[in-house]
């Protein structure tokens, strides 16, 4: 019987401003002030935190966190992608890299190698840039470059270290209504397509919209529609769709969703 693919690696670069604040950042991401990296934590052994509950409205999964660090990111990638690490790669659901890169557009080779880490597996990879000089505009430009080179397995998030270290959340959405920062990292984990080996717990739900789209939208399709509201509801609908294990139910839900959206196009 294969081991569940439920491990998340969080690895910190030596240049990251959050290197000395690992516990605080991990607690922010995984939603618990009890996740402290010290020898007194009963589920922490050699920087491994076991049996962490990740829960959304539509599912709950138990994960293990592997906390790592590196001096050179390319060397870390070489080690992770080596033949000796195949057993580890087979149980990794995702990787979160925390590093400080003031000029992310110049790191194309880094992103190519990061893409290699997960391009052949059902794993996510989030590169969280802690540089205070990186703004969302530069992240958008970087995404365009990654798309051009088909490096679509890498998600880049700007993580302002000053806000995290001062216990300030900062803006959780940008001017387009898109989530940013820690909230964006949590969202990417939420929508991950977890492997069936993870023993996902799902609440009893029907295949109807359950208010995801129909209720919040205006009764008259001719009226102006809040696009930001639609985007947020679509994200929720995607989460709900991924929790439907029966294919016929999933297809029915998708069809109902498309018909509802067609009213407002």
User: Are the beta carbons of 52 and 34 closer than 8 angstroms?
Assistant: no
Indicate if 19 and 145 belong to the same structural domain.
Answer: yes
Indicate if 146 and 85 belong to the same structural domain.
Answer: yes
Looking at the domain assignment, is residue 15 inside a domain? Answer: yes
Range of the domain at 69: 7-197
Indicate if 56 and 139 belong to the same structural domain.
Answer: yes
Spatial CB neighbours of 179, under 8 Å, sequence gap ≥ 6:
172, 173, 187
Q: List helix spans (H) across 38-193.
A: 73-80, 86-89, 108-118, 136-148, 161-165, 181-190
What pLDDT score does 38 carry? Answer: 44
For the domain that residue 106 is a member of, what is the CATH number? 3.40.50.11960
Indicate if 104 and 159 belong to the same structural domain.
Answer: yes
Indicate if 132 and 238 belong to the same structural domain.
Answer: no
Q: Which of 172, 197, 222 is the last residue of a domain?
A: 197
Indicate if 124 and 221 belong to the same structural domain.
Answer: no
What pLDDT score does 263 carry? Answer: 64
Looking at the domain assignment, is residue 109 inside a domain? Answer: yes
Indicate if 258 and 148 belong to the same structural domain.
Answer: no
Indicate if 222 and 108 belong to the same structural domain.
Answer: no
Looking at the domain assignment, is residue 1 inside a domain? Answer: no
**Domains held by the chain: number:** 2
Q: Which of 145, 176, 197 is the last residue of a domain?
A: 197
Looking at the domain assignment, is residue 2 inside a domain? Answer: no
Q: Report the candidate in 148, 162, 173, 163 with the shortest Cα–Cα distance to residue 227.
A: 173
Indicate if 141 and 36 belong to the same structural domain.
Answer: yes
What pLDDT score does 224 carry? Answer: 56
User: Are the beta carbons of 240 and 205 closer than 8 angstroms?
Assistant: yes
Indicate if 135 and 41 belong to the same structural domain.
Answer: yes
Indicate if 106 and 55 belong to the same structural domain.
Answer: yes
What pLDDT score does 205 carry? Answer: 54
Q: Which helix (H) or strand (E) holds 22?
A: helix 22-30
CA pseudo-torsion sign 153, 189, 53, 60: negative
Query: In sequence order, what DSSP letters do the residues of 203-262 get, joined into one string?
Result: ----SS-TTSSTTTS-SSTTS---HHHHHHHHHHHHHHHHT--SHHHHHHHHHHHHHHHH
Spatial CB neighbours of 195, under 8 Å, sequence gap ≥ 6:
4, 5, 6, 93, 122
Q: Which of 143, 172, 197 is the last residue of a domain?
A: 197
What pLDDT score does 208 carry? Answer: 45
Per-residue pLDDT of the chain (265 residues; tens, 9 = 90+): 578 999 999 999 987 766 667 888 888 898 754 454 444 344 444 589 999 999 988 889 999 999 999 999 999 999 999 999 999 999 999 999 999 877 666 678 888 999 989 988 889 999 998 887 766 666 777 878 888 888 888 998 888 754 554 444 455 666 666 677 888 899 999 989 899 889 888 876 544 444 444 444 445 555 555 566 666 667 667 766 666 666 666 777 777 777 666 665 5
């Amino acid at each position: 019987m294969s081991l569940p693919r439920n491990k998340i690696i969080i690895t910190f670069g030596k240049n990251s401003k959050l290197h000395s604040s690992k516990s605080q950042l991990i607690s922010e991401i995984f939603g618990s002030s009890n996740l402290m990296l010290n020898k007194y934590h009963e589920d922490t052994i050699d920087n491994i935190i076991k049996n962490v509950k990740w829960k959304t409205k539509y599912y709950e999964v138990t994960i293990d966190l592997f906390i790592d660090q590196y001096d050179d990111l390319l060397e870390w990638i070489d080690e992770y992608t080596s033949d000796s690490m195949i057993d580890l790669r087979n149980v990794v659901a995702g990787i979160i890299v925390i590093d400080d890169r003031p000029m992310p557009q110049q790191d194309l080779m880094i992103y190519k190698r990061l893409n290699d880490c997960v391009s052949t597996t059902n794993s996510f990879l989030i590169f969280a840039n802690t540089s205070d000089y990186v703004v969302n505009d530069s992240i958008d430009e970087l995404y365009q470059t990654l798309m051009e080179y088909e490096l679509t397995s890498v998600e880049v998030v700007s993580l302002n270290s000053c806000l995290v270290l001062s216990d300030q959340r900062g803006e959780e959405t940008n001017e387009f209504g898109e989530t940013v920062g820690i909230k964006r990292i949590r969202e990417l984990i939420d929508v991950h397509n977890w492997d069936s080996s993870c023993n996902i717990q799902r609440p009893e739900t029907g295949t109807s919209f359950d208010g995801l789209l129909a209720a919040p939208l205006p009764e008259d399709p001719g009226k102006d529609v809040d696009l930001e509201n639609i985007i947020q509801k679509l994200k929720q609908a995607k989460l709900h769709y991924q929790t439907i294990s029966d294919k016929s139910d999933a297809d029915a839900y998708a069809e109902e969703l498309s018909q509802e959206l067609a009213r407002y196009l």
